[in-house]
Amino acid sequence: MKASAVKDFIEIFALKPDVFGAQSSIDKDHFIDCIENVKVDLTKFEAAAPMMIAMMAITPKDDDDEKRAVLAALNQNRNLDAYIYENLPEEKEFYVIESKFWD
């Protein structure tokens, strides 16, 4: 997780700012170790689950979870072209391919 994602998680769950240490990014195992030691209201995970799946590259359990994760990562923007033009640097090229093709 990037530092911005960690900061967002801390704000969403009203945690102490140093709960994950002073690292600029953390991996999934460190994240899990840290939150196991903190009393977190896990009901908030239900609303945050799609974004967490997207941010941590967790394999969704089904197609609906995957769709919710993609939409969360795109800030609920259903138009991929518009999202790319609004959020990605103009000088870079990006390609979207299916994971089955990549695998």
* 8 A C-beta contact, residue 45 and residue 73: no
Q: How many domains does the chain have?
A: 1
> What residues make up the domain containing 27?
3-102
25 strand-pairing partners: 2
pTM: 0.42
Average pLDDT for the chain: 78
Segment 10-30 shows an average pLDDT of 77
Confidence check: pLDDT of 95 > 80: no
Confidence check: pLDDT of 24 > 70: no
| Position 23 confidence tier, pLDDT thresholds 50, 70, 90 | low
